[in-house]
A and B are shown apart, each in its own frame.
Chain A
Amino acid sequence: MGLKNHNPLDNIQYRILDKNGIVLKEEDLPKFTDDELMYLYRTMIFSRIIDEKALSYQRQGRMLTYAPNIGQEAAQVGSAYAMEKNDWLVPAFRELGSWLVKGVPLRNIYLYWYGNEWGSYMPEGIRLLPVSVPIASQLQHATGIAMASNIKGEKDVTVAYVGDGGTSEGDFHEALNFAAVFKAPVIFVIQNNQYAISTKGSLQTASKNYALKAIAYGMPGILVDGNDIFAMYKATKTAIDRARNGEGPTLIEAYTYRLGAHTTSDDPTKYRDDSEVEEWKDKDPILRYRIYLMNKGLLTDEIDESMKKELEEEVASIFESIENKSDTEIEDIFKYHYEVMPPQLEEQLNEYKSFLEGGK
């Protein structure tokens, strides 16, 4: 079955690469160069290492609360790689792989989780919004950005992310409805990682899947194996091409699994069995892609090892460059609320500074 005829009501995941690294649909396989294939691998590995290191720093008391992406790398990297440079990316908070593809410096990402607002300051030329903690609220912004592209007659497309839990918020419904009514060039990617903290999908929706919700909004919906980087790329690229062509929004459900905890404050053993996690480890998105690259002769154990070593060193050195050097400047707490600081704010800042200086 090709992508075109893929109906979410059939509840079948669109898949190109199976869990053993075997290509199921040669005709759908994206035509990537060897360099591109290796870039995708490297980015997924980079994402995994950033997570693993952050978790270990957190355990050592060197990092604050952290939300890992482990298991969701293909859903993120595959979808983001389908974007053009000028396309907008609107994240929730668990899209590390997509941020890396967009070109966000790791320093920013770590600075954010390290508890400093400057982590959310995007370098010029990167069209990515900051993390949006209030679940699903960001989807409205995505629709608005896409509507503005239409109004301005520009061809940029917006890709927005949300979790399975986020689909229950009213904001999800409103954003999708607006997008469809106004034919906004926006792609909504649901990372269905099976859990919203401890809450299972069956407590989130009575639908067979999330992709089919698209039907009611009047937009295409597609259920994708989110652990298959090729399928994620292909589905997103197809949706982006459609949107750029003036045909409106698409809803993509990336069926995946959060292999780690919700965040470092969470203990998943309280609500799920290890056997379930083990089963999903077998479907690890990096595993199958690694086999594919090895079969293709692009990757060897030696290349893999040295790539990982190099990335680990890079991650460690970036973390060390922010560690213990990232306290917030007092002025920064006050400075960015308005273009011009109102007098009462200035007064509060000065009072506080003079308290710190031991004055009156």
Chain B
Amino acid sequence: MANTLNIVQAINQALMNEMELDNTVVVYGEDVGVEGGVFRATVELQKKFGNTRVFDSPLAESAIVGTAIGMAINGLKPVVEMQFSGFVYPAFNQIISHVARMRNRSRGRYTLPMVIRAPYGGGIRALEHHSESMEALFAHIPGLKIVIPSTPYDAKGLLIAAIRDPDPVLFWEPKRIYRAFKQEVPEEAYEIPLGKAKIIDEGTDITIVTWGAMVRDVQKAAEMVKAKGIKPEIIDLRTIAPMDRDSFVESVKKTGRILVVHEAPKTLGVGAEIISIVNEKAFLYLEAPPTRLTGFDTTFPLPRGEQHYIPSPERIAKTIEDVVNY
């Protein structure tokens, strides 16, 4: 059976499925219980599974993540929510010092099958700290996995895979497209493997690597340049760490060009890593300088300036042309 869902609904259904199939899965965080989350991603869960397995926590991110570590050590699979990715920082110490290290520290004796979910990214005209894209901070930390879906189908399959994964996964949800479109999604549980990118458009002239909400903007830009005879190959990275390096290395060997598009700031961003890998593994295939189009190296502006920050389809299209016509 399939149903037509947007991204939030797909996430909600993934949680429903996994809670039904595995009674060690627990869900908690700020406002996730009674209200079902400020974006309604956990709606109806408490009604269905009771307030022992789904509950509102005190307002304390460090304690939410820190207790999830304890629960994971003691046999549960916590799926906790940070209300916005911009509010994960009180828990940064727990994430870097313990979430990322427990397996290695204990030489595999203690593992942490836990998921930290958070709405992520800009473009919803929000207050400060509600718009940033800081995936690079986490991708840099040995021991963490970080996943960013871009469609309802992927969101559900990736979240289920994240919950079943024996290691901790940060699951960052692009809130700009939470409700942007719907897709056919199977009602039953299914997995999309972590660490695997997806070629969403095949082409021969340029490889574009992107993820999250930027995928749709890149697709729009691709339509614009196709009209001019340029055929881009678009790769949705889906998992930021560990990264599917073969996906873009093989693609660049075919196209000879690479553009990385991300919403996060440029300097020391994920794009820098992708381009380094291309330089290491496909240098001799390159016909143009590997290029990044990203957010600025600035704080994400408040709403009256945010239209400048996120690369628009027009800017992406222009950059594609610049790289192809180098």
Contact = CB atoms under 8 A, between A and B. Distances in A.
Contact of A333 (B58, B62, B303, B308): B308
Contact of A328 (B61, B130, B301): B301
Contacts of A266: 38
A337 B299 contact: yes
Interface string B287-326: 0000000001111011111001100000100100010000
B59 A114 contact: no
B302 A345 contact: no
* Residue of B30, B89, B267, B302 with most partner-chain A CB within 10 A: B302
Given A333-B296, A333-B309, A115 B125 contact: yes
Contact of B308 (A204, A265, A352, A360): A352
A168 B59 contact: yes
A166 B59 CA distance: 7
A360 B302 CA distance: 28
Contact of B302 (A116, A134, A352): A116
Given A271-B35, A337-B298, A168 B308 contact: no
A136 B128 CA distance: 15
Given A115-B303, A326-B304, A171 B90 contact: yes
Interface residues on B, range: 35 or more
B31 A199 contact: yes
A311 interface: no
A167 to B, nearest CB: 8
A332 B298 CA distance: 10
B304 A198 contact: no
A327 B90 contact: no
A333 B127 contact: no
Contacts of A270: 34-36
A33 interface: no
Contact of B90 (A114, A169, A203, A328): A169
Interface extent on A, as a size class? 35 or more
Contacts of B30: 196-197, 199
A196 B59 contact: yes
B87 interface: yes
Contacts of B303: 64, 115
Interface string A319-335: 00000001110101110
B59 A165 contact: yes
A213 to B, nearest CB: 13
Given A196-B30, A265-B38, A333-B308, A117 B302 contact: yes
Contacts, number: 113
A107 to B, nearest CB: 14
Interface in A157-194: 165-166, 168-171
A133 interface: yes
A180 to B, nearest CB: 21
A348 interface: yes
Given A165-B59, A205-B58, A197 B90 contact: no
Contacts of A318: none
A135 interface: yes
Contact of B296 (A65, A327, A352): A352
A203 B56 contact: yes
A355 B318 contact: yes
Interface in A332-360: 332-334, 337, 344-345, 348-349, 352, 355, 360
Contacts of B301: 117, 328, 333
5 nearest CB pairs, A to B: A328-B305, A115-B303, A168-B58, A198-B35, A165-B59
Given A204-B58, A337-B298, 11 more contacts: A169-B59, A197-B30, A198-B56, A199-B58, A205-B58, A266-B38, A271-B34, A337-B299, A344-B267, A352-B296, A355-B318
Interface of B: 30-31, 34-36, 38, 56-63, 86-87, 89-90, 125-130, 266-267, 296-299, 301-305, 308-309, 315, 318, 322
28 contacts: A64-B125, A65-B125, A115-B125, A115-B302, A117-B305, A133-B129, A136-B59, A165-B58, A168-B60, A197-B31, A203-B56, A203-B58, A204-B58, A204-B59, A265-B38, A270-B36, A271-B34, A326-B304, A328-B301, A328-B302, A328-B304, A328-B308, A333-B308, A333-B309, A345-B298, A348-B266, A348-B296, A352-B308
Interface of A: 64-65, 114-117, 131, 133-136, 165-166, 168-171, 196-199, 203-205, 265-266, 270-271, 326-328, 330, 332-334, 337, 344-345, 348-349, 352, 355, 360
